[in-house]
A and B are shown apart, each in its own frame.
Chain A
Amino acid sequence: MLAVSINAAIGRGAILLGLLTCLSGIAITLAGIRKHDLRALKSAPRYAYVAFAAALLAFIMMERALITRDFSMKYVQQVGSRDTPAIFNLTAAWSALEGSILLWLLALTGLIAAVARKFRARVGDELLAWAMVVLFVVGLFFFSLSFGPANPFAMGALGVNDGPGPNPLLQNHILVLFHPPILYIGYVGFTVPFAFAMAALITGRVGEGWLLETRRWTLYAWGFLTVGIILGSWWSYEVLGWSGVWAWDPVENASFLPWLTGTAYLHSVLVQERRGMLRVWNLSLVIATFSLTILGTFLTRSGVINSVHAFSEGSVGPWLLTFFAVIVVVAIVLIGRRGDQLRSPGAIDSPISREGAFLANNVIFSVFAFVVLLGTVFPLIVESLNDRRIVVGEPFFNRMTMPLGLTLLFLMAIAPVLPWRKASQEVLRDRLFWPAWCGVGALAVSVFVGAEGWASLAAFALGGFAAGAALRQIALASRRQGWRGVVGRANGGMVVHIGVIIIAVALSASSSYTRTQEFVMKVGETVTFSGHTFTFEGLSLETDDVKTSVKAAVRIDGEAVYSPARSKYLKQGMDIGTPSVKTGLVNDLYITLEGNVRPSDTEARIKIFVKPLILWLWIGGALMAIGTVLAAFPGKRRQPTAPVSADTATSAHNVNDHV
């Protein structure tokens, strides 16, 4: 073993190169802006490419260190192991703090390089130049983090020849390969609209230009964040053994917060594009979304909050908190400076209009984000002020967010049918007729199949109402535009809405109507639960290099055998339960093996969860992803002279739908 690892030396060198490149990128671009030097500005993309190459090289060296089991490195000592399967050895690169920052850096510099390439022909534009400066500053911060307090290439203790491997929860499901990178791309994706927003504030070009430049970047970032969150829920469901998909864990909340503000922004930006209004609000939402990704990173990686997801306490906390504070202060100062220019020229004529509904949607999303943020940080506030520890958990979040979620479903039903500017009663009556009957139909079906409880019934009814409105829009658009009726921002957005509605209904059903029973079963015994038979056929032992697993064989309805297990991870000494799930369109049968169990036992505690509509969560998530891609494609162009709102004076039948 070398005293200095080649992986560590090259990796650290690459980080230093990236850091210096970002610093040079900032200096050269600023000089170019100041002296109006086009040659200097034209060189900015090259710095972006070099920064990306540096981050990529550092990441490759980390993977190489893990693959070659370079135990001279502290990080490999911490998360590497000679016995870890190849795929989890690969994902070990982001299974602890320093490596996860490295992955973040790779995604961020990749994005900066993509922006530089996309806009390379227009680098002389001051707005773009300032956006590049902001992107380089964010890059510089993360390179500094990786070079300083979160150094992944630090040398470890001498004489170490093996390590414990990643946390067992990070090496028993393939989703560890997809969930973190996709989530990170979503997180860092919001850096682009943030950079352009800051550039707009700095240059004073606070009109709609920056919005149009970043429209698709924002949409893709939101799409990745959405898919990342859905995959995280799926992973939690498949791995943790409590049969849930969302626990309002602080780290889950950290990813949900920018999603909420990002979703609010995607709606309110339409008002600015169409009417030139809400400039300050949109800038604030973009800045809040980016700031919340940094705050979320702080919560996840500083050790201030206990979470099953959180990394152990590190020294990155003060850095992240300072960066968060700097962003907020600089943004407030810039918005204050541009106060006069940001004043919107127009007015919203009526609350009963598309823009009125978007405003209401934004209020609800903002309050939703506030509730999630407050619930997440409240234990910290209480501990620092009252020196007392409290826990804020699922019951608080469910109670506070349920009315907000129902209100959003209602707005999802109303907003798509409202015209811009003003809606008459006739228009509303005409456009809401079928969606409202869809809601009544959904409620009737729910009552018919035995649903109970006002909150769930309201969710199903509003879900039907909102789905009716979305389907109506798609049907009208398809009639006018053929296959393009599902393409474009408005139409793709309706596909996303249907995905959200399916998720809302599935979440409501699974949280309200899950049935559970624990059985102590002898070998050969059959029990009947919720219309299904479960036969316990015995226990078996499986051993590999990493773990020893005791598996139960449970035959469901006399057909296939399902095998929930309890595994002891040898190096960590951790006991992990792994559920087994029979997936169905109506119900999932989710089985876990409970308690301490030995393969020689003749009885076992088997817990059975019957979970309705879980499969529809993933179907809804897939629809949201598909809708996002459809929304990114250009839809049918409106004629420049086409009216943007309905003529409220005419009868409802003569009114065209303007999507």
Chain B
Amino acid sequence: MARTYDLNDDSVVVIIGSGAGGGTLGHELSEKGIDVVCLEAGPRLDLGDIVNDWGTMGARLSWNDKRIGTGVLNPGYPLWVCKTVGGTTVHWAGASLRFQEHEWKVRTVYGDVPGATLLDWPIDAAEMDPYYSRAEDKLGTTGTHGIPRLPGNNNYKVMEYGAKKLGYQTVHTGNMSINPEPRDGRPGCVQLGFCMAGCAIGAKWSVLYSEVPKAEATGHFELRPESMVVRVLHDDSGKATGVEYLDADGNLQMQKARVVAVAGNSVETPRLLLNSASGMFPDGLANSSGQVGRNYMRHLTATVYAVMPGAVHFDRGTQMAGIVMDEVRNDTSRGFAGGYLMETLPGFGVAAIAGNVGGMAVDTPGTWGRDYTREVIENYRNMAGMWLVGEDMPQADNRVTLHDTEKDQYGLPIPVVHFDEHPNDLAMRNHAYRMGSAVYEAAGASKTYELPPFPGTHNLGTCRMSANAADGVCGPTGATHDIPNLFISDGSQFTTGAAENPTLTIVALAIRQAELMAEAMRTNSI
């Protein structure tokens, strides 16, 4: 049974955010008998709330509170993430890839890349291997633990054909946390095609229906949805003591805590630390390094759509239906450090294609008019599409800050997210565009369109993990360097981003963090 905790119960671990990091951490701790209060800003939906409609689900799931983007970011909508129980695991595509071994140590492997703030992670592939294995088992990742891969849809078959014709070797339907057959209480995938609107049948792993009910069943977990944390509190000794939050009715509450773990995604996590500034910590909590909010990464990302000689119906079936992995290696002969992946991606419906191809690609007959509708929109059924995702370079000035004057509906300064690209990012994207287009041309495309990044869904690195306290915000356990009972538990802790979709790594880190936190609590070191 889900239980409830008193606001003055100072024995609980308070987790802020219920996504891949916070939700997993909460479930793992609760299984160990540790009492958890999980505060989530968004509402709790159930499968009945998930429908196959992009517009409805965009409005229902997304984090739409005001944010400002500067640099190359969309000024009014810099990120596309979720405000709902389960966080971005409700809208993720399900791609579950491990970092490559070298991606834990890129400062050593890539060397000094001018302008980049590269750093080696203070943990490595060998350390993470067992946690990755447990994460893959938890998520039911295809291609691991004897779970077969999903069948490939039309969009995959086009990419596979072109890729193999080009000579690519590692081409398959991916490591996906989508059940090919029933497992762990979740049904098998029936190829609905709206993965990123939320899986309406729950075949895709999500904290919403996979972790939260199990956590509640332990009797050690309380979820409080529609609870926006406004401040982390501390005592005179500099230890975290609890949080203040606005409940569903807008009333300010204070929950005491033994440990506080922040997992609000890479904008809200540093924003909360900055908003928690106090007399003792005037620059924000855990910010003696000045690194809170810095080194924001969002992966390379780009999209190629192609007009093929026959019908593809790329909306049919899983959205990330397959992957080409040959370019993910680090091979500086290509003119850049790091690597990237090709993953199928359709277009989120006709309205989105009609707006995005003309609005974002250059090689179209404008954005409207007869030539545009004939060349682009009336070819919708023949379109294939892929997303290109790779490692981007951390930079100190790509960062989350607080707006000087403007406040949101909670009365908190709105976040300003700045991102400019590094020359390595541009060189990699150039290569990715060329090779992605070549894949489709090898399969007979009459036209390809190159689209720059959509608002970021992989947002990383704003409270990064570092061996030395001067270089980052948290140490190898995720505990902040400055405040030992304050943890970073989401993608914000990424030291560098690697090329792979981040969720599996966030989950693996959360499983590991739960073990380390429980041990520290058992030995009373926190």
A-B interaction: no
Interface residues of A (CB under 8 A from B): none
Interface residues of B (CB under 8 A from A): none
